[in-house]
């Protein structure tokens, strides 16, 4: 049986995934603010460093899988949101790489991105480039230049950085060539405490409800967790760098001809 780290394990998609991984008999090292094996605040540099070090220690330096689900959504302080959703994800992707290489099987990583990457309008490269460059001060400065859009871009920009990290690194010698399958999932609106926080806000609630979901209702944490669970299984041995949209058809509806693109 394997060792898995799941961030955001106490709620929503992370908790649903945790239940499925544990039902397989694996050991889960959860990371969350509360109710987790590693209780840490990923909005601070010390919290992130301590959580990654604890994950390496508790796993004995050998991991079979990682799911990065910790995150927050609007309405939330844009700077803190960018920090949690990107820097609080990247630290595990990079910091647990060596433990994943040490797995005796093909290790699996599923990063939780979002369909806000393609369905919420243009995302300035300034924020995403600074994130990918790990220029934390630069990312926050770029956010400050966006005025009213800062809250939206803090979320969508962080999730785009997550997707870009996965696409860039997954097919390389250091990842696919070293026995790790790195993929991402892009959920659409999924009824969790995070989404409920948005729905309860007068401004964001209206925006979320106006967003068309072709299949009808919002998704459930179990529906997303089932796909994450599948992406942790041997079914993903031939899967690397995929950004899987599970969003009731919203991305297809908005971007049908944009990707795959023609010349």
The CA–CA distances, whole Å, from 19 to 15, 93, 100, 133 equal 6, 22, 21, 35
Determine contact, residues 57/45, Cβ cutoff 8 Å: no
Torsion of CA 220, 191, 260, 240, to 10 degrees: -60
Applying CB under 6 A, does 13 fall inside the site for ligand NAD?
yes
Joined together, the tokens standing for residue 187 give 């959920």
Applying CB under 6 A, does 117 fall inside the site for ligand NAD?
no
Applying CB under 6 A, does 71 fall inside the site for ligand NAD?
yes
The one among 70, 107, 154, 231 contacting ligand NAD by CB under 6 A? 70
Determine contact, residues 221/12, Cβ cutoff 8 Å: yes
Residue where the block lists tokens 């499925």: 20
CA 172/CA 180 separation, integer angstroms: 10
Applying CB under 6 A, does 66 fall inside the site for ligand NAD?
no
Enumerate residues 38-57 that contact ligand NAD by CB under 6 A: 40-43
Enumerate residues 171-230 that contact ligand NAD by CB under 6 A: 187, 189-190, 192-195, 221
The burial of 32, by beta-carbon neighbours within 10 Å (0-12 exposed, 13-18 middle, 19 or more buried), is given as buried
Nearer to ligand NAD, 16 or 103 (CB): 16
Nearer to ligand NAD, 75 or 179 (CB): 75
28: left (phi over 0), alpha (psi -120 to 50) or beta: beta
Number of residue whose CB is nearest ligand NAD: 12
CB of 133 to ligand NAD, least distance (A): 21
DSSP secondary structure code for residue 218 in this structure: P
Nearer to ligand NAD, 56 or 189 (CB): 189
Residue where the block lists tokens 């994450």: 228
The one among 2, 5, 11, 87 contacting ligand NAD by CB under 6 A? 11
Nearer to ligand NAD, 32 or 64 (CB): 32
Nearer to ligand NAD, 65 or 73 (CB): 73
The one among 2, 8, 65, 120 contacting ligand NAD by CB under 6 A? 8
Catalytic residue among 76, 87, 92, 155: 155
Buried-state track 154-168, b at ≥16 Cβ within 10 A, e below 16: bbbbbbbbbbbbbbe
Joined together, the tokens standing for residue 92 give 């595990």
4 is catalytic: no
Applying CB under 6 A, does 120 fall inside the site for ligand NAD?
no
Cis amide leading into 39 (omega within 30)? no
Residue numbers annotated as active site: 155
**What residue ranges bind ligand NAD (CB under 6 A)?**
8, 10-14, 32-33, 40-43, 69-73, 84-85, 112, 114, 187, 189-190, 192-195, 221
């Amino acid at each position: 049986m394997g060792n898995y780290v799941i961030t955001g394990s106490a709620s929503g998609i992370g908790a649903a995934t945790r239940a499925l991984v544990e039902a397989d008999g694996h050991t889960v090292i959860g990371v969350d603010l509360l109710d987790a094996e590693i209780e840490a605040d990923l909005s601070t540099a010390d919290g992130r460093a301590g959580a990654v070090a604890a994950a390496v220690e508790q796993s004995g330096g050998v991991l079979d899988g990682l799911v990065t689900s910790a995150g927050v959504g609007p309405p939330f302080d844009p700077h803190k949101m960018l920090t949690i959703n990107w820097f609080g994800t990247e630290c595990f992707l990079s910091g647990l790489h060596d433990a994943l290489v040490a797995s005796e099987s093909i290790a699996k990583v599923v990063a939780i991105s979002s369909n806000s990457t393609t369905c919420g309008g243009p995302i300035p490269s300034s924020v995403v480039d600074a994130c990918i460059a790990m220029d934390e001060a630069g990312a926050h400065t770029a956010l400050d230049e966006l005025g009213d859009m800062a809250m939206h871009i803090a979320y969508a920009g962080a999730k785009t950085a997550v997707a870009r990290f996965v696409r860039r690194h997954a097919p390389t010698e250091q990842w696919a060539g070293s026995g790790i399958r790195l993929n991402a999932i892009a959920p659409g609106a999924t009824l969790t405490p995070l989404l409920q926080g948005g729905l309860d806000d007068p401004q964001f609630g209206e925006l979320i409800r106006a967003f068309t979901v072709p299949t009808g209702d919002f998704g459930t944490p179990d529906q997303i967790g089932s796909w994450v669970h599948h992406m942790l299984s041997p079914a993903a041995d031939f899967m690397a760098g995929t950004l899987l949209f599970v969003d009731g058809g919203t991305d297809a509806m908005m971007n049908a001809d944009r990707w795959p693109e023609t010349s």
